[in-house]
Amino acid sequence: MVHSLTTPTAFWFFYSVILLLALPSGKLRSSFLLMVPILAGIHLWNLPLGNLVQVKLFNFDLELMRVDKLSRIFGLIFCLAAFLGNLYAAHLRDTVQQVAALLYAGAAIGAVFAGDLITLFIYWEGTALASVFLIWARRTVASYHTGMRYLIIQIGSGVILLVGVALFFNETGSIRFELMTLTSLATWLIFLSFGIKCAFPLLHNWVQDSYPAATVTGTVILSAFTTKLAVYALARGFAGTEILIYIGAAMTLFPIFFAEIENDLRRVLAYSTNNQLGFMVVGIGIGTELSMNGAVSHAVAHILFKSLLFMSVGAVLFRTGTCKASELGGVYRTMPRTAIFCLIGAASISAFPLFSGFVTKSLILDAAAKGHYYIIWAILLFASAGVLSHSGIKIPYFTFFSHDSGLRPKEAPLHMQAAMGITAFLCIFIGCFPSTLYSLLPYPVEYQAYTTSHVVNQLQLLFFALLAFALLMRSGIHPPEIKAINLDSDWIYRRFLPSLIVKVKNLIDGFIFRIHRLIPLKLYSALRLIHILLGREGALARVLPVGSMVLWMVILLTITLVVSFIGF
């Protein structure tokens, strides 16, 4: 039985796949791909709040469309991200990527509006299955193996979620997706599942592994949905869980050092994603209205400025065939507009005043200070300076302005420039008019980002970080950009576990080989003994005289009588 006031927004994307396949490949398909998220966003904007679609399935009440201020803002930004990603990918004639992008966006939006844990699980796994094709679409051996690693981790997250949901239902009799506490195995498993997709420390390397392995356009789309869906899930299910404060603080710190030594610029941006997710996780862990607004607004801003950075680096990769810092430089001469868009994204992620990151990140910093988490506040401040170094400076500098690589590529295609231009405009618009974003947040906002102390303190931090970068470069202390693949915790499953498996396999093979050698020898010895005893010439097969047999019978009878007499 279905009780519905509307069609779930996710279904707009699913239905559109059928229409997409019916259209001829070309500009018509590209235009259709742009219309789907626009119409879905308009539909979502006009929906009333409440549980709008309920389905009865096997005695479970599934809520497919729970609309409140928290889910609505994530749904809207996901629709916008889908539009920008499809615009950026307008040149593609690859049906696999087009279908995967639609299904991926639809599954992420469906998960955001899931009012119960079963529906959440279905969409949770849907995002994994759809997104992996954006990696495999590169059609190389390396991308195949990366996609398999990505799929194992993402599906593993879903399996853990399913076990947690089953235990949670067994304990509480409820499948509603609402605020939980870490008081049982069930909630810990659900928490771990969310943490995998949110790239918690030691669970994070699927981001650095998969994002650079995807196609130029696939990376932009990947960066928008999975991790932010996990942020939404944590905000919905574990707001105010104190352990998140410390997990988030660790997330902001460790990527800084790996990003500084990384040569692949898309991997640098992947590490930067971990860093920025840490700010959101801290905000969710603090759990106040101010910090929750900060976490949600920073998730929105992050989707925009990180997409812009991936777009600009992707445009350079599209034109030059490389995104290695050691192979780029001087590209601004022939790609000036892409360079400008990259600088806007860099300023936004670095939280320069008048850019989006400034008006969202400051909410989280102030919430930490007001909550008396002074050490956490200091860590976040240090991490803010770090992100300026590796994303605010390193990305544009080594891509466009460092040594002249001799590359003179064409400017990015017009549709890519349009996608970057719209995203850059939104980064500036939010930074200049934050009230527009603040009005969409889950809680009322009474906050002024542009106070003298905020602006001056942030500018001091940024200028000192710029000075430190300049001194490190001039002194030669800054890590050089070398052609290498850096591993951190993924060393465990990319090097240690494979080598351990090989060693265990060799031990087992050696044991089996020895068994195969020993069994014939032992079997031959046993057969020889049987032959000696029972063969024609064996001791037990010899013909004995009748007198001997009588003698043995007398001996046995005597022993029997003696034993019987003693026993009596």
Sheet of strand 60-63: strand arrangement: 2-4, 53-57, 60-63
pLDDT at residue 462, as a whole number: 81
pLDDT at residue 1, as a whole number: 46
The residue written with tokens 């679409």 in the block is: 137
- Look at 166 and 1; give whichever has higher pLDDT: 166
pLDDT reading at 2 higher than 60:
no
The pLDDT mean for the chain works out to: 87
Structural tokens at position 388: 């300026």
Residue 318: how many CB atoms within 10 A of its CB? Answer: 20
Q: Give me the mean pLDDT over the 411-426 stretch.
A: 95
Residue 372: phi, psi to the nearest 5? 65, 30
Q: Per-residue pLDDT tens for 338-391? A: 999 999 999 999 888 999 999 999 999 999 999 999 999 999 988 888 888 777
Q: Which residues contact 554 (CB under 8 A, 6 or more apart)?
A: none
pLDDT at residue 345, as a whole number: 93
Q: Quote the percentage of the chain above a pLDDT of 90.
A: 53
Spell 491-513 as b/e; 16+ CB within 10 A means b: eebbeeeeeeeeeeeeeeeeeee
Q: Per-residue pLDDT tens for 428-481? A: 999 999 999 999 999 998 888 888 888 888 888 888 877 877 776 677 666 665
Rounded CA separation 138/411 (Å):
23
Strand duo 66-67 + 50-51: pairing: antiparallel
Rounded CA separation 158/311 (Å):
29
pLDDT at residue 532, as a whole number: 66
What is the SS3 assignment for 3?
A: strand
DSSP calls for 249-286: HHHHHHHHHHHHH--BHHHHHHHHHHHHHHHHHHHHHH
pLDDT reading at 289 higher than 90:
yes
448, exposed or middle or buried, with CB in 10 Å at 0-12, 13-18, 19+?
Answer: exposed
Rounded CA separation 124/434 (Å):
31
Q: Where residue 542 falls among pLDDT bands split at 50, 70, 90?
A: low
Q: Which residues pair with 53 in a beta bridge?
A: 4
Q: Per-residue pLDDT tens for 190-212? A: 999 999 999 998 888 888 889 88
Rounded CA separation 109/101 (Å):
12
Left if phi > 0, otherwise alpha if psi is -120 to 50, otherwise beta: which for 476?
left
Contacts for 174-178: CB closer than 8 Å, 24+ residues apart: 175/60, 175/61, 175/116, 175/117, 175/118, 176/63, 176/115, 176/116, 176/117, 177/114, 177/115, 177/116, 177/117, 177/119, 177/120, 177/236, 177/237, 178/236, 178/237
Q: Decide if 84 contacts 417 (C-beta within 8 A).
A: no
Comparing 299-308, 433-442, 473-482, 505-514, the range with the smallest average pLDDT is: 473-482
Helix locations, 287-400, DSSP H: 289-320, 336-349, 356-370, 374-387, 394-396
